[in-house]
Each structure stands twice: as structure tokens, then as C-alpha cells.
Amino acid sequence: MRDEALSRRSILMAAAASLAVPHAGRAQDGWPPVFEAGRSQFTLVRPRALMPPLRLQDLHGKDVTVAAKPGRITLVNFWATWCAACKLDLPMLARLAGSRVDRLDIVAICTDTKDLRKIRTFLGGLAVQNLACYVDAYGAAAQASTEMFSIVGMPITYLVGTDGRVEGYITGAPDWLSTAGARLLQFYRERD
């Protein structure tokens, strides 16, 4: 009886140990490595749709079209001037942009206002000099959000792979310069 209990206990402990290391071999199995931020984690999007070109405005009111570039990863970040977590997320994205990570573009899109003065004031208090910030002046990002960029939290960052397809997203203010962030970006850079 005791050996049987010990055997059951061993099986349960082994099962618990395998659960304690979530997705340990994930990247080898074709799955991206785990990347978490607070209570959120990188979540895959299926089906993988092509990112459409987005008609936006830069912070000077000039029209621009933003699109994913073949062979490059694009992080598309949606933020708002009322969002407290955005004050942490935007500087992190700016540091990532300044780090000159190979084959990476970052696009930060303000979704709550078209008032350029309000946006510039909000950004003026943050260290975001290296970050390409845009305004959704024509509703392009809003339209795309109903089709592929669901805004399930704020801020939210979508990762578009080197083939131009939306791979997944993470909400909140993740540390993209962490080891886990670097592994996730490397995984998608190598997935040509």
C-alpha cells in the first residue's frame, strides 16, 4: 500500500513539475518562447492575416502610410493619452528602437485624439525621441482594429512577422529589452 501511494505521489509530483515550467521546449516545437508582462503574456493570433497599410499622420500633421516591410519585424503599438500604463510602455518602446535591434520597426499609434498639441504635450514628458509616433487621424487604425488589431487592452502591441502577417499581441508595458523579449523577437526574425 505504501509503495502504491509513493508511486502515485511520484507521478503527481512529476506531472506538477512538468506544469511548473510552462512551454519549456516551446520554441523548438515551432511555438514562440513565452513573453510576459504583469498579468498578460504574448498571445498568438489565428488566422494570421496580412497587416494592411495604415494611413496615418505624423506628429507634424503630415500624411504617411505605414506598412510592414518584407524581411522585417514590425511592432504596432496602440496607445492613448489617458492611459497610465502607456507612460511606461512608450519609453520602453523608444529604448528598444534606440537599441538598434536588427530588422525591427516600431510604430506607435495614438488612438484617442487627433489633437496634435495634446499628443505632443503628452509625449513631451516622456523619453520617446527614438520612437516613430503617429496619429490615427483617418480612422485607419480604428478600422484595422475591427478587422485584425483587436484593442483588448491599453496599451497593446502587435507583432507583425517578417512575412507581413500579424503573429500575436501583448497588452501592458512589457520589457522588450529583457531576455524573454529578446528571445521572442529573435524567434520571429529567424522565421523567414
What is the number of H-type helices and E-type strands within the chain? Answer: 5, 10
Q: What is the pLDDT of residues 90-145, one digit of tens each?
A: 999 999 999 978 899 999 999 888 899 999 999 998 989 889 999 998 887 666 66
What is the reported pLDDT for 148?
58
8 Å CB contact between 40 and 172 = yes
The answer to whether the pTM exceeds 0.85 is no
Element at 67 (helix H, strand E) = none
Indicate the DSSP class of residue 150. -
Element at 63 (helix H, strand E) = strand 63-66
| Amino acid in position 157 | T
Task: For residues 164-189, give the mean pLDDT.
Answer: 92
Q: What is the pLDDT of residues 19-72, one digit of tens each?
A: 333 343 344 456 787 777 777 888 888 888 899 899 999 999 999 999 999 999
Question: Looking at domain 28-189, which of 3.40.30.10, 3.20.20.70, 3.30.300.20, 3.30.300.180 is its CATH number?
Answer: 3.40.30.10
Question: Which candidate, 47, 38, 187, places its Cα nearest to that of 103?
Answer: 187
Report residue 99 as a C-alpha cell. 537599441
Please state, in angstroms and rounded to a whole number, the distance separating the CA atoms of residues 73 and 51. Answer: 12
Q: Is the dihedral of CA 98, 192, 171, 29 positive or negative?
A: negative
